[in-house]
Every structure is written in structure tokens, then in C-alpha cells.
Amino acid sequence: MQQITIRRPDDWHLHLRDGAMLRAVLPETARDFARAIIMPNLVPPVVTLADTVGYRDRILAALPKGAVFEPLMTLYLTEDTDPADVAAAAASGVVKAVKLYPAGATTNSHGGVRDLTRVLPVLEKMAEVGLPLCVHGEVTTPEVDIFDREAVFIDTVLDPLRRRLPGLRVVMEHITTEEGVAYASSAGPTLGATITTHHLILNRNHILAGGIRPHYYCLPVAKREKHRLALRAAATSGNPQFFLGTDSAPHTDALKEQACGCAGCFTATNTMPLLAHVFEEDGALDRLEAFTSLNGPAFYRLPVNQTTLRLVKHATPPPFPDKIVTEAGPVTVFNPGFPVHWRVEA
Ligand code: NCD
Ligand code: ZN
């Protein structure tokens, strides 16, 4: 029997939603993860420190009895965000980052930023107080092909921004391209990058060849195989700039399986077994802990977790649920399409 024990992981990019959905999906993350960076793209978005404190309280109230889980909150950056509120948010200790959504880039991003020059005073304040900026790195220009939007964003938005504000710490969220890997690798310690579980597993053929698979559709959309391989190499490299952000993003099956389906893969339930599979396949099980439990805290300047998580490899793949039940309807759990022999055990 093969097994591995690592420091308890953290998820540096997670969608928990609110209300009934929050209550249904939170236990799936809290079972394996000690902390998570909580995305603020609710309807309406979590914009101010006061909004964030309220949302954090609702998350803590939704935790199963006995669960030990710390939500690390983020503010949704808008063109009306007040630098003083951001400074207060950083000082409060509740808020660990600010999230930049280019307006229209993804789910509930219409209130995001159209013109970066309008948020420069906020970004300058963040650089001053040491609060990181988490970036959804895709341009929204309709003329730019959806498979090129990340690479174009790096050249036309991210790099100029970082040159203008070299003191600002930035996380490239859910990178999906070899250009993203190369840019992060060439930057210094002020730049981190999260990688999702599903982007280590999927390329665009998985979504589109032989039928359209809505549960593999997320944003940024999975790219060619060479990009998946670049992400695998980065995640398993041990390079401290790369860490796990699952981007687990629940939508009900009804919203995924329709003429215009929502973007998001729900991976909270089985991320750790999937990652053990991926890292074992690449001969890098000894670097799983760096990716899931060490590199993220180092970037965010937080202590590593003191508790541990044990993964055991079974001869027969242990089953995982197809769906989780929510009051709004079923949510499909990410199915990688191959047997997974690993399971988290007490
Ligand atoms: C996310 C969501 O549903 O909130 N969807 C996704 O495909 N990743 C938003 C996001 O992170 O882009
Ligand atoms: Zn996301």
C-alpha cells in the first residue's frame, strides 16, 4: 500500500457562492483544506470591507460542526473602490487580497474594471500596504480569439502594470498557457501564479472532440496539449511561484447543461486524490506538498498549516460521488475520465 502524508493543503482560489449553495459546497472543501482564498464574485459582488466581514460570517456559520477552516477573504475591485477602505481591509487582517476581474471576462464580472487607470490609486495603496492583487488574466476584447486572451493580457495589460507598479505583489490566477508559465517563471518573487486541478488534466480536445462536454467548460478555457504539459511541468517543479488554486466553481447541472452553459468545474470534492494521481504520474509525489501546502503560504506571508493530510493509494479505485446535492439542484463533481486510485484518509 502506497501512502503519503503532507501538511494540510490550502486552496488559493475558491468559489463558495452564498446561501444554499454555500452550505452544500463548503463541507467539500473544509474536509481536506485548512484555508482558502475566497472569490468575491457573488451577486452583488463583495466590494467593501463591510461586505467582506458579512460574507466571512456567513461562511463561518455554514461550516459543519467541528470543521476547522479559515476563509481568507478578498475584495472585488471596481472603479469605485476606495483606497482608504482597501487599506482598512488590509489592516483588519480579514482581507488577504483584492481581485481584479476585467469587466465581462467571466461569471459575475460585469461590475469589474474597464479602465485600469481608474483604479491606479487603489493599486498604489495596495503596493504600499503589501496587499496582493489577484488577477483574472484575460482580455475581453471581442476581436481577440478566446484561446489567445491570456497571452494577449500578459503582453498588453499585466506586464505594463507590473512595470508601472513594481512594488505591487500580483497573483496570476488560474494560468492556462505556456506563455503564462514562462512569464511567471521569468518574474521575481513579487509574482505568483495559481494552477487549477482541472487544467493539469484537460486540454481543449477533452471539451470539444467527440461531443461537447459542458462540465469541462471553464474560464479561462483549457488550451492545447502543449499548454497542459507546460502547466504540469510548472506545478510539479517545486518552483515556489506556483501553487494550487482549484478555481472550484459550482454551477447546478441545469445551468451547465443548456444552450448557453455557465463556465466552471467543480473540483472541491476530489482535488487532492486527483493531484496525487497527477504528481505520481509525473514522478513528483515528493513535490505535491510544495504545490498544495508550502508555496502559497510563503507567497501570502502566512504560516504553513500544522496539521496534516494522508493520501492512500488503493488497488481498486475508491468511488467518489458523481454529484453533490444542493437545494438549487445537483452539481456534477469533476470526473477526470480515468480511474483514480488515491483517497484522502484519516
Ligand atoms: C468562475 C465562476 O463560475 O465563478 N468560473 C470559471 O469558469 N472559472 C469564475 C472564474 O474564476 O473565472
Ligand atoms: Zn475562479
pLDDT at 104: 93
Which residue shows C-alpha cell 490609486? 121
Beta bridge partners, 195, equal 244
Q: Mean pLDDT over residues 329-338, rounded? A: 98
Beta bridge partners, 48, equal none
Spacing, Cα 18 to ligand 2 middle (Å): 15
Q: In this model, does residue 21 exceed pLDDT 80?
A: yes
Residue having the nearest C-alpha atom to atom 6 of ligand 1 = 264
What value does the mean pLDDT of the chain take? Answer: 98
Residue pair 276/313 in contact (Cβ under 8 Å)? The answer is yes
Q: In this model, does residue 97 exceed pLDDT 80?
A: yes
| Ligand of minimum distance to the alpha carbon of 219 | 1
Beta bridge partners, 242, equal 193
Q: Which residues surround ligand 2, an ion (CB under 5 A)?
A: 247
Residues with CB under 6 A from ligand 1: 15, 41, 106-107, 136, 218-219, 247, 249, 263-264
pLDDT at 333: 98
Q: Mean pLDDT over residues 140-153, rounded? A: 97
Q: Which residues contact 145 (CB under 8 A, 6 or more apart)?
A: none
Spacing, Cα 17 to ligand 2 middle (Å): 11
Ligand 1 atom nearest 108 alpha carbon: 4
pLDDT, tens digit, for every residue of 257-299? 999 999 999 999 999 999 999 999 999 999 999 999 999 999 9
Active site residue 82: no
Ligand 1 atom nearest 263 alpha carbon: 7
pLDDT, tens digit, for every residue of 196-250? 999 999 999 999 999 999 999 999 999 999 999 999 999 999 999 999 999 999 9
Measured distance CA(325)–CA(337) in Å, rounded: 21
Q: Which fold has domain 2-345?
A: TIM Barrel (3.20.20)
Q: Mean pLDDT over residues 69-83, rounded? A: 98
Confidence tier at 346 by pLDDT (50, 70, 90): confident
Measured distance CA(251)–CA(267) in Å, rounded: 12
| Ligand of minimum distance to the alpha carbon of 13 | 2
Spacing, Cα 42 to ligand 1 middle (Å): 11
Residue pair 119/113 in contact (Cβ under 8 Å)? The answer is yes
Ligand 1 atom nearest 15 alpha carbon: 4
Q: In this model, does residue 1 exceed pLDDT 80?
A: no
Sign of the Cα torsion 112, 220, 161, 242 reads: positive
Question: HEC profile for the chain?
Answer: CEEEEEECCEEEEECCCCHHHHHHHHHHHHCCCCEEEECCCCCCCCCCHHHHHHHHHHHHHHCCCCCCCEEEEEEECCCCCCHHHHHHHHHHCCEEEEEECECCCCCCCCCCECCHHHHHHHHHHHHHHCCCEEECCCCCCCCCCHHHHHHHHHHHHHHHHHHHCCCCCEEECCCCCHHHHHHHHHCCCCEEEEECCHHHCCCHHHHHCCCCCHHHCCCCCCCCHHHHHHHHHHHCCCCCCEEECCCECCCCHHHHCCCCCCCCCCCCCCHHHHHHHHHHHCCCHHHHHHHHHHHHHHHHCCCCCCCEEEEEECCCCCCCCCEECCCCCCEECCCCCCCCCEEEEC
